[in-house]
Amino acid sequence: MSLSGHEPRHFLKIFKGKMVVFTGGRASGFKNIHDHDTYDVDGTRLFRIRGTCPEDVRADQLEEVAASLASDDVFILESPKGTFVWQGKGGSDFEREMAANIVGVLSPDAEVQTIAEGEEPPEFWEALGGEGDYDRELDPPGPPFLEPRLFHCKILFNGRFKVEEVAHFEQDDLDQDDIMVLDGGDEVYLWVGNGSTEEEKEKSMDMARQYIRTDPTDRSEETVPIIKIHQGKEPRSFKRLFPTWDDDLWEKIPSYSDAKKNAIALNKV
């Protein structure tokens, strides 16, 4: 099964809080979850645990290197020498509970060792190819955020301004030819794609202001800042709102304008 990143909540509930998303977007909650030949080559797998409630918990597979870790999260590392639940210093009790729930799906027959950040045994770092730098910054304590919401803003060919919410979003949902508005709870981000137009920027800013004004909670323009950020210059606070983040993604995905230029060049050959 391949995922698009737009799975509705009722789809996620099929997995009963134990959905695993493997590298490449393949998902499982059933028998093929232990097919190592399909999903890795050395018996080592690393998963970040994410979710907003027990029913939509998911484990996203990441590259098995120290740089994939983050102090604000909880991870499961499965290796030939054992399975570890790594608890970052900023990981919440809910994330730890979610990890305990899903580790039995990933490694039902393994002896699981729960370790706190800073107390890793040598075999933990060996499985990740050695100890290295990772994101150790912690979010400031405070009330929980509202669930993040992402909106895609663009001007259609007929000149109409269209806003569409993106459910269960991923980084590659950010359209570099348009504007994206991301509600992070304490702040609202206006993400400016490199190929967006000035008109799209203006209309999207107006939309963000109107969005805050009509918020049914007690938020207002005076309490919630609108932060404009440009593609490729995203702050950590923005990246943290996504399940995973690849700093090199924009170099891998051509923009619409680049794709159009390449198509024109090919037609001239």
- 13: CATH: 3.40.20.10
The angle formed by the CA atoms of residues 18, 19 and 24, to the nearest 5 degrees, is 150
CA 238/CA 233 separation, integer angstroms: 10
User: In this structure, are 85 and 158 located in the same domain?
Assistant: no
Residue 267 within a domain: no
Residue 78 lies inside a defined structural domain of this protein: yes
Do 156 and 122 share a structural domain? no
Tokens of 188: 């609202």
Do 16 and 106 lie in a common domain?
Answer: yes
Number of domains the chain is built from: 2
In a domain, 141, yes or no: no
Which domain covers residue 221, as residue numbers? 149-261
Domain annotation covers residue 58: yes
Supply the pLDDT for residue 8: 45
Q: Does 4 fall in a domain? A: no
Residue 158 and residue 253 in one domain: yes
- pLDDT, residue 59, reads 82
Could you give the angle at the alpha carbon of 53 between the alpha carbons of 242 and 71, nearest 5°?
Answer: 50
* End-to-end CA separation in angstroms for the chain: 39
> Quick one: 73 and 178 in the same domain?
no
User: Are 153 and 123 part of one and the same domain?
Assistant: no
For residues 124 and 16, state if they share a domain.
Answer: yes
Cβ contacts of 229 within 8 Å, gap of 6 or more:
189, 190, 191, 192, 235, 238
pLDDT at position 10 is 40
16 part of a folded domain: yes
On whether both 19 and 78 belong to a single domain, the answer is: yes
Q: Is residue 33 part of a domain?
A: yes
Q: Return contacts of 125-128, CB within 8 angstroms, 24+ apart.
A: 125/66, 126/81, 127/44, 127/64, 127/77, 127/79, 127/81, 127/84, 128/44, 128/46, 128/64, 128/65, 128/66, 128/69, 128/77
Identify the pLDDT of residue 31: 42
Tell me, yes or no, whether 117 and 177 share the same domain. no
pLDDT at residue 218, rounded to an integer: 80
Domain shared by 100 and 203, yes or no: no
Per-residue pLDDT tens listing for the chain (269 residues):
334 344 444 434 434 444 556 654 444 443 445 555 444 567 899 999 876 666 667 788 889 999 999 998 999 999 988 899 999 998 888 888 889 888 888 888 888 999 999 999 999 999 999 999 998 888 766 554 578 899 999 999 999 999 999 988 999 999 999 999 999 988 999 999 999 999 999 999 999 999 999 888 788 888 899 999 999 999 988 998 988 888 888 887 765 566 556 656 666 65
The answer to whether position 135 is within a domain reads: no
Note whether 121 and 211 are same-domain residues: no
124 and 214 in a common domain: no
